[in-house]
């Protein structure tokens, strides 16, 4: 499956850091706090959540070589589209300027 415009992309601004959870666990262990198990469960839940997020990423099922091929293909598409856009601009802009000049001349 190649990435295309219909493929959903996760665009959330959630915090995917585990550092604060690990820090809390270490603090609880130093204090022999009963909250250690609760913090360990929170870390485990965060890992499970991240596994789900990663499994929905486009191209995750591809091996590195396939990902490189897909990347090259997408870069080639961008290059081709940029070339076509430049050709269009070079054709359209002179016509627009010529039309504008003609309008100025008819108004004078």
User: In the block, which residue shows the tokens 């997408």?
Assistant: 74
Q: Which letter, b or e, does each residue of 71-94 get, where b requires 16 or more Cβ atoms within 10 Å of its Cβ? A: eeeeeeeeeeeeeeeeeeeeeeee
pLDDT in tens, 42-82: 999 999 999 998 889 888 889 999 999 999 999 999 999 99
- pTM over 0.75, yes/no: no
By the 10 Å C-beta count (0-12 exposed, 13-18 middle, 19+ buried), 53 is classed as middle
> Do the beta carbons of residue 17 and residue 38 sit within 8 Å?
no
């Amino acid at each position: 499956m190649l990435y295309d415009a219909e493929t959903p992309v996760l665009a959330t601004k959630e915090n995917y850091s585990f550092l604060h959870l690990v820090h809390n666990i270490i603090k609880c262990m130093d204090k022999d706090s009963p909250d250690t198990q609760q913090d360990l469960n929170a870390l485990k839940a965060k890992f499970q959540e991240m596994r789900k997020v990663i499994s929905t990423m486009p191209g995750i099922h591809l091996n590195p070589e396939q990902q490189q091929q897909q990347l090259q293909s997408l870069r080639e598409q961008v290059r081709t589209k940029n070339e076509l856009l430049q050709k269009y601009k070079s054709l359209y802009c002179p016509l627009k300027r010529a039309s504008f000049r003609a309008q100025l001349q008819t108004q004078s």
